[in-house]
């Protein structure tokens, strides 16, 4: 099947969404298992873009509650000690902007970039709202310092990032992670929130079978 005829599996997620971190092994299994049958595309969610206030203690407690729930359900690794310290601003736009920057240089690195940001934030306790941290992550993916400096604050990359957020809103996605199936016949949300691989893969298999029947 040519790439133009393949169904698309849209993955709506944010690199600073804890449930997306828990879902990381699931989407990776999907990418491996269905690589020949689907196009799998990431659409950045825009969880808290443009946040300007420092995190309050109540907000921190609430977020850490979610982190513990994600760890309990998925086994994802978190660094809780000193997470989101005093003065932290939970702005998810810069991390998302790095993904669009990497996509502009090498689209094949998009999912790796997304995962590396997640791991830096949740597993390693790094501040992925910081340009210094994001530059280091980019460098580990082969992005030169000059490329980063030229692109990160460019109007084009900022606009591309906003287009992702707008696409998520227009698709009526209000929670992450979310998976949306799209083929020539229909568009359908397969899940909103965490689901195990077995459940999602069964849904995808059924959609592939139905899609194949409709092409006969």
Please write the tens of the pLDDT for every residue from 78-114.
Answer: 999 999 999 999 999 999 999 999 999 999 999 999 9
How are strands ordered across the β-sheet holding 39-44?
A: 39-44, 8-13, 178-182, 187-192
pLDDT of residue 189: 96
CB neighbourhood size of 36 (10 A): 7
Mean pLDDT score, 133-142:
98
* Average pLDDT of the segment spanning 5-29: 97
pLDDT in tens, 194-211: 999 999 999 999 999 987
Closest to 90 measured CA to CA, from 118, 120, 63:
63
Q: How far apart are CA 176 and CA 69, in angstroms?
A: 15
Indicate whether 68 pLDDT > 90.
yes
pLDDT of residue 11: 98
**Band of residue 2 on the pLDDT scale cut at 50, 70, 90:** very low
3-215 architecture in CATH? 3-Layer(aba) Sandwich (3.40)
* CB-based burial, 176-198: b 16+ in 10 Å, e otherwise: bbbbbbbbeeeeeebbeebbeee
Cβ burial 47-75 (10 Å sphere, 16+ → b, else e): bebeeeeebeeeebeeeeeebeebbeebe
**Average pLDDT taken over every residue of the chain:** 95
């Amino acid at each position: 099947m040519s790439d133009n005829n393949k169904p698309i599996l849209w993955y709506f997620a944010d690199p600073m969404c804890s449930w997306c971190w828990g879902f990381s092994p699931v989407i990776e299994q999907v990418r491996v298992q269905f690589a020949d049958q689907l196009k799998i595309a990431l659409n950045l969610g825009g969880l808290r873009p443009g946040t300007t206030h420092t995190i309050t203690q109540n907000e921190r407690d609430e977020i850490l509650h979610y982190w513990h729930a994600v760890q309990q359900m998925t086994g994802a690794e978190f660094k809780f000690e000193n997470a989101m310290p005093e003065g932290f601003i939970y702005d998810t736009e810069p991390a998302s902007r790095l993904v669009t920057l990497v996509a502009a240089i090498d689209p094949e690195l998009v999912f790796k970039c997304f995962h590396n940001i997640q791991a830096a934030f949740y597993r390693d306790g790094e501040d992925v709202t910081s340009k210094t941290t994001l530059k280091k992550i980019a460098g580990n993916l082969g992005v030169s310092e000059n490329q980063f400096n030229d692109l990160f604050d460019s109007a084009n990359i900022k606009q591309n990032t906003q287009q992702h957020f707008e696409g998520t809103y227009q698709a009526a996605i209000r929670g992450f992670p979310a998976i949306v199936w799209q083929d020539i016949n229909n568009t359908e949300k397969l899940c909103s929130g965490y689901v195990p691989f077995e459940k999602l893969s069964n849904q995808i298999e059924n959609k592939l079978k139905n899609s194949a029947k409709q092409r006969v």
